[in-house]
Chain A
């Protein structure tokens, strides 16, 4: 490749950041040029966020140097970074929900008509920017009333308002529908064409290949390599991220659906505020098949899972497992009928952090005769089972007495999966089973879910990752605004079609 002549906007050299007990970044360097989209790729915990937080002044590097437009800088805080033209769109939006769009955008850099904030000029400036960059927003809307896609536009406008020419986007596509993602990638390309340098953080390989000019890969806090889309593939990138070959496509046979196990008719659930979250949903899952529920988060999936596992009261004509009524039964009773549950928030609902690996593995069965007699626990039986499961499910832990909270996300999730699958459930309800899990573990967890299906379990899979839904499911149901808008056979479910349904499009479109 010819030497790049474009102006270097940002150069980081040898950055190291240590936190108590971990080295989050070790000797990491990167160069960002004018008009370039640089993808920062790595698994969770690879140190991507730490790296950009140093560039944005949120953390001070322990070692190394940051040069912005040729000048070595020590950033005392975001204010310094903003002043030097760095803008950041945070993974968790940094917007004040009760403020209007205009108020949010000017916060920290308000136009004044002393002694007042000049809201008139603020609104005009925001409207101008929104027009110029084709990022449509209503300047007077309150941010809390806006959908996430629009909130993200507000975040981007906030950076543009500050005249950022280095724009950092931290996992911007995690909350978007496939169409919104495509729009965002186009907007990013537009920025680059106008001379902005973009740092794009993600772990989605497809997007990296679609939009990046340069790809930097981090693993375990260290830089592992630089590449360009033309010279690599999804498999190649995954190998760089994980450090070994990874199977991205789930290897599975065609489903052999048997009798109906989970039968739900006319289910309606309200959310914490008493508003309807699931509206008149009916579905059936047969033994030996995986029904995937696709949808942008917050369309009722959480409440659906909670209702089916006994964690939330609901109303319905029928909710049965193997013909037995589970409507508004306790989680314990439902579990006893052979329904395994992988909750979406494993820390909160799936594990007891300060307990050992062994205790967490028998959390659902510790009182059964197999593991306890006359109220006294049978340590030997528990340990035998745990040792066995740790091996079988490849749980990387120093030992079975280690507390679960000290393990990585992937290993925590493997413990939940191991526990829920160990009893050979007739039905498995898995919500976001690979969220915050490294690529290596994702591969393993996917194979376990498919394995459970092949052993005859009825699997209900809920995931916000469309690739996961499309890779695992035998049928795909799309949830939008509390309703199941359509159920498609996997053979006819492609990204575009499912994405349209996720965004609320009609099934005939």
Chain B
């Protein structure tokens, strides 16, 4: 029943977009392109949450993982003068942060919320302490020309392709492959996986670590592609918004992709309407939108969508 409403909503929005495109091509493209760019880090970060929670590990530290990666990626690019190297440094940092969470939450069987919070606090502290003003990036990320695709005005930069492709790939991995079946088993009923010969802790450890790479990508995107700079507290709660998107998307990569785009769309639309002076409200209220939307959506859907059963509980043999 709920899925049916979601499909209906998606179709209505899709039709609205097409109609708008014929009415006013320039503005529609501008809104869509803004929406997609806004959604990219949210999509990537929501995938982090999905991989972790489907394996039974809450990752409340996505925010911190992104912040550290944005920091490392930005300064890596600034110091080496190479954007691709910077991006790779960001992704690597994300993986290290992922392994950090995995060590705490899986190997040491710490409380998962505490382990994630440690990462968030650590990230704020470290990035603020080592922050240096006045660094600049060496130019823009390359536009990769993929025939047809890159002609679509919204797409272009590598990150955007990745943000759309990764959820689709992840969906196939989760629901069609052996890795997916085992990951979901570990997140739903780890003792069943264990007695079937699937190692619960190794599975969780590697999933959380590799998911960290995605958080690294999200952070690198923010600093290198979206903003072109780094500031203190730069991620501004996107890691937490991504968790809301994960829930709204029912822990399904494609659902989360749609939810993130919906988030971006509201933001893009509001900005456009304000720029055109259709609505006269201060910029601050526009900036509040994603947070208000997060609260409203969570209030509406929470309790109706079931998370993976074993999420949040370290696995102990009885």
Query: Mask for A77-99, Cβ within 8 A of B = 1, else 0?
Result: 11100100000101010111111
Find out whether the CB atom of A95 lies under 8 angstroms from the CB atom of B197.
no
Within 8 A of B (CB), among A110-130: 110, 112, 115-117
Find out whether the CB atom of A58 lies under 8 angstroms from the CB atom of B317.
yes
Enumerate chain B residues within 8 angstroms of A158, measured Cβ to Cβ. Answer: 196
Find out whether the CB atom of B195 lies under 8 angstroms from the CB atom of A96.
no
Query: Mask for A369-389, Cβ within 8 A of B = 1, else 0?
Result: 000000000000000000000
Find out whether the CB atom of B309 lies under 8 angstroms from the CB atom of A107.
no
Task: Indicate if A26 sits at the interface (CB-CB under 8 A).
Answer: no
Given A82-B197, A88-B195, A117 contacting B178 (CB threshold 8 A): yes
- Most A CB within 10 A of own CB, among B178, B180, B182, B309: B178
Find out whether the CB atom of B185 lies under 8 angstroms from the CB atom of A99.
yes
Find out whether the CB atom of A104 lies under 8 angstroms from the CB atom of B317.
no
Enumerate chain A residues within 8 angstroms of B177, measured Cβ to Cβ. Answer: 115-117
B165 CB → nearest A CB, Å: 16
Enumerate chain A residues within 8 angstroms of B176, measured Cβ to Cβ. Answer: 116-117
A330 CB → nearest B CB, Å: 29
Query: Mask for A8-21, Cβ within 8 A of B = 1, else 0?
Result: 00000000000000
- Bound together, the chains give a CA A94 to CA B197 distance in angstroms of 12
Task: Indicate if B198 sits at the interface (CB-CB under 8 A).
Answer: yes
Interface SS of chain A: helix, strand, loop or mixed? Answer: loop
- Bound together, the chains give a CA A107 to CA B198 distance in angstroms of 8
- Bound together, the chains give a CA A103 to CA B188 distance in angstroms of 13
Find out whether the CB atom of A112 lies under 8 angstroms from the CB atom of B178.
yes
Task: Indicate if B231 sits at the interface (CB-CB under 8 A).
Answer: no
Enumerate chain A residues within 8 angstroms of B189, measured Cβ to Cβ. Answer: 94-97
Task: Indicate if B111 sits at the interface (CB-CB under 8 A).
Answer: no
Give the residue of B188, B194, B197 whose beta carbon is less than 8 angstroms from that of A98.
B188
Give the residue name and chain of the B residue nearest to A79 (CB). B197
Give the residue name and chain of the B residue nearest to A58 (CB). B317
Enumerate chain A residues within 8 angstroms of B121, measured Cβ to Cβ. Answer: none
Enumerate chain B residues within 8 angstroms of A56, measured Cβ to Cβ. Answer: 195
Given A58-B317, A117-B176, A108 contacting B191 (CB threshold 8 A): no
- Most B CB within 10 A of own CB, among A92, A98, A158: A98
Task: Indicate if A235 sits at the interface (CB-CB under 8 A).
Answer: no
A179 CB → nearest B CB, Å: 27
Given A96-B189, A97-B309, A78 contacting B197 (CB threshold 8 A): yes
Task: Indicate if A193 sits at the interface (CB-CB under 8 A).
Answer: no
- Bound together, the chains give a CA A270 to CA B27 distance in angstroms of 55
Find out whether the CB atom of B317 lies under 8 angstroms from the CB atom of A108.
no
Task: Indicate if A109 sits at the interface (CB-CB under 8 A).
Answer: yes
- Bound together, the chains give a CA A96 to CA B188 distance in angstroms of 6
Task: Indicate if B193 sits at the interface (CB-CB under 8 A).
Answer: yes
Task: Indicate if B184 sits at the interface (CB-CB under 8 A).
Answer: yes
Given A97-B189, A98-B188, A117 contacting B181 (CB threshold 8 A): yes
B189 CB → nearest A CB, Å: 5
Task: Indicate if B298 sits at the interface (CB-CB under 8 A).
Answer: no
- Most A CB within 10 A of own CB, among B177, B188, B189: B189
- Bound together, the chains give a CA A261 to CA B199 distance in angstroms of 56
Give the residue of A58, A97, A107, A116 whose beta carbon is less than 8 angstroms from that of B196.
A107
Given A97-B309, A112-B178, A116-B177, A107 contacting B191 (CB threshold 8 A): no
Give the residue name and chain of the B residue nearest to A80 (CB). B197
- Bound together, the chains give a CA A356 to CA B180 distance in angstroms of 49
Give the residue name and chain of the A residue nearest to B180 (CB). A117
B316 CB → nearest A CB, Å: 12
Give the residue name and chain of the B residue nearest to A104 (CB). B192
Give the residue name and chain of the B residue nearest to A108 (CB). B196
Query: Mask for B165-193, Cβ within 8 A of A = 1, else 0?
Result: 00000000000111011101100110111
Find out whether the CB atom of A107 lies under 8 angstroms from the CB atom of B185.
yes
Within 8 A of A (CB), among B271-318: 309, 317
Give the residue name and chain of the A residue nearest to B191 (CB). A94
A112 CB → nearest B CB, Å: 6
Residues of B within 8 A of A (CB): 176-178, 180-182, 184-185, 188-189, 191-199, 309, 317
7 additional A-B pairs beyond A56-B195, A107-B181, A107-B193, beta carbons within 8 Å, are A94-B196, A97-B309, A99-B188, A116-B176, A117-B178, A117-B180, A117-B181
Subset of 7 A-B contacts with CB under 8 Å = A56-B195, A58-B317, A77-B194, A94-B195, A95-B192, A107-B193, A107-B198
Nearest 4 pairs between A and B by C-beta?
Answer: A108-B196, A79-B197, A94-B192, A108-B197
